[in-house]
Structure 1
Amino acid sequence: MEAARAEAGTEAAISRALSALRARAGMDVAFGAKVNADGRAMRILQISGGLTQSLPGLTIASGAGLGGKALALGQPTRVRDYLVARGITHNYDHAVEPERLRTVAALPLRVANVPRYVVYLASRTPVELGDRWLDGLAPLLRDLERELAVQEELNRRLRLMPAPTRERPALSAGELREIAGELAALAGEVHDEALRARLQALHIRVAPDERLPLAQQPHGTLTPREIAVLEQVAAGCSNAAAAEQLGLLPNTVKSYLKSAMRKLGASNRVQAIVAARAAGLIR
């Protein structure tokens, strides 16, 4: 059940990213395809801005169509007018035509240097997509690749966990601390707010009474701003979201967070939240 939930979390992360990519790219439609384990095909799962249901569920072979070409080459591919484009096969025109798509870009997302998803961005009017357009999307695409890497690692660990049995002994306190530490490290690596909140919730479930040793208690009094930043982070906010809530610059939030972590003896934001709660500084 946990593994199935984690897989659903991966697809939810892709779904959220499609809306952000569509807005950043200024395109009419965005959809994502998950690559099969053997890399020979992929299946379109979600669409943002679609007119019909002609694309979701469509299976695309490696090398076929624009997305299949991107998958086979492992690099972005673009066409100005899909239905008359040369250099690609037209196996899937029957699904593209109802959406009235013209300019289309297919962008592979890689984890451990292997394509795992292909994101499509499309316009219903012909537009020119130059290198500057693609460079503008690079930060979002790299962030999404990092989220996918974390999700895949979480999914892998959940699949390896043995099914609970009555005979299986309970985890020791040391094992729980180790798991809590791994969850904290994963949470510190992700930018997706929903995934980070899930990891933080799991961390608290695994170690609800976690307290830092005396040597790691706060080394100085936290300022009101540092506490306000920690409250926003504890609520699942990214640095950018916390900055918007507090009327600060993201770099200023980052500075306050680093200062609070130093005073709390924490190496990541989850440990800082746990320490601040233990000290009664935040709820």
Structure 2
Amino acid sequence: MAAPSALRDDASLVSHAVAELARRTHFPVAFGGLEHNGAVHVTTIVGARTRSIDGLVVHASRGLGGRALVERRPRMTLDYRTSRSITHDYDRAILGEGIATLFAVPVLVGGAARGVLYCGSWAQSPVDDVQARPAFDVAGELGVELHVRAEVERRLADTPAPEGGLGAGAREEIRESYAQLRSIAATIGDDTVRRRLEDVEARLAALTGDAPSASVDADLHLSRREIDVLACAAVGSTNGEIAASLGLRETTVKSYLASAMSKLDASTRHAAVTRARRAGLLP
């Protein structure tokens, strides 16, 4: 079972996702939650006119959301009241809110369903692919956030912190995690999600405990992409591997490396990484 603090973090991620769902889609009601012990616990609701959905717990295979959870694919009903394709265990909550059309999208993490996001409307509202896309995007972004945070927390938990600072092996583990996190963040289009990932990057960078060298120019600044490329180079990735990781052309990677090396007054990528670490720009 997850620690209470982890559950609170999960709840905040769901809260943000549901708010985004309401903002990006045409549905007046949005709600959702994550799976715990075989059931989705709804923790955030936006736009509801009643309190009938409050505290809703949807078990696997039951109702529309339970099917979406088990089947790991979106499910929709245009007329919830008369639908014969789902069980009606949760009529009191859904019909109590007056919902007619209900759309349930699973949140997938590493191929496993970790939760469900719902969109609902009080009138029958057909949904085409264009209208559904924002819901898919929000669920996908939430899945990425959950995956990245879980992976970072796992690595941090597995990293020993001996007295006197981190050992060489632990430092390299943090640097590898940092590079992977930046490569994931580089693929995220949502600014809010990317800023959250950058906050986690800062935590990882701070764990090395290295203070910026006094000999380093305090005004030194690298672009986000230059740091992305250097972070990957720092763990031994080739230009081709960096390009594939960040979704760039190899020539573009070379250009970012050359620019970073110039700013850092370094003649090799190894020297650039060393100077960036001394400047506190890399862990």
- Match for residue 12 of structure 1? 12
- Match for residue 74 of structure 1? 72
Are 1:264 and 2:247 matched, yes or no?
Answer: no
Distance 2:255 2:94 in 1: 52
What are the ranges of 5 or more consecutive residues in structure 2 without an aligned counterpart?
A: 229-250, 265-271
Given residue 180 of structure 1, which amino acid in structure 2 is its aligned partner?
I
Are 1:199 and 2:200 matched, yes or no?
Answer: yes
Distance 1:182 1:15 in 2: 30
- Match for residue 142 of structure 2? 144
C-alpha displacement of 1:173: 4.1
Identity of aligned residues (%): 27
C-alpha displacement of 1:64: 1.2
Q: 1:80 to 1:23 in 2, by over 3 A?
A: same
C-alpha displacement of 1:60: 1.2
Q: 1:60 to 1:279 in 2, by over 3 A?
A: closer
Partner SS state of residue 119, structure 1: strand
- Match for residue 63 of structure 1? 61
Given residue 19 of structure 2, which amino acid in structure 1 is its aligned partner?
S
Give yes or no for contact 2:33–2:40 (8 Å, CA) kept in 1: yes
C-alpha displacement of 1:7: 3.9
What are the ranges of 5 or more consecutive residues in structure 1 without an aligned counterpart?
A: 235-254
- Match for residue 249 of structure 1? none
Q: 1:180 to 1:123 in 2, by over 3 A?
A: same
1:177-211: CA deviation from partner (whole Å, max 9, x where unpaired): 22431442243113413432331331242134266
Partner SS state of residue 201, structure 1: helix
Partner SS state of residue 98, structure 1: coil
Distance 1:262 1:210 in 2: 25
Q: 1:159 to 1:99 in 2, by over 3 A?
A: farther
TM-score (norm. length: structure 2): 0.67
C-alpha displacement of 1:34: 1.2
- Match for residue 171 of structure 2? 177
TM-score (norm. length: structure 1): 0.67
Q: 1:276 to 1:126 in 2, by over 3 A?
A: farther
Given residue 25 of structure 2, which amino acid in structure 1 is its aligned partner?
A
Q: 1:230 to 1:77 in 2, by over 3 A?
A: closer
1:26-73: CA deviation from partner (whole Å, max 9, x where unpaired): 111111121125xx3221121222334432422211121111121222
1:254-277: CA deviation from partner (whole Å, max 9, x where unpaired): x999955553259xxxx99x9399
Give yes or no for contact 1:229–1:257 (8 Å, CA) kept in 2: no
> RMSD of the TM alignment (CA)?
4.0
Given residue 119 of structure 2, which amino acid in structure 1 is its aligned partner?
L
- Of 102-111 and 201-210, the range deviating more from structure 2: 201-210
- Match for residue 50 of structure 1? 48
C-alpha displacement of 1:93: 1.2
Q: 1:22 to 1:15 in 2, by over 3 A?
A: same
Given residue 279 of structure 2, which amino acid in structure 1 is its aligned partner?
A
Distance 1:114 1:125 in 2: 32
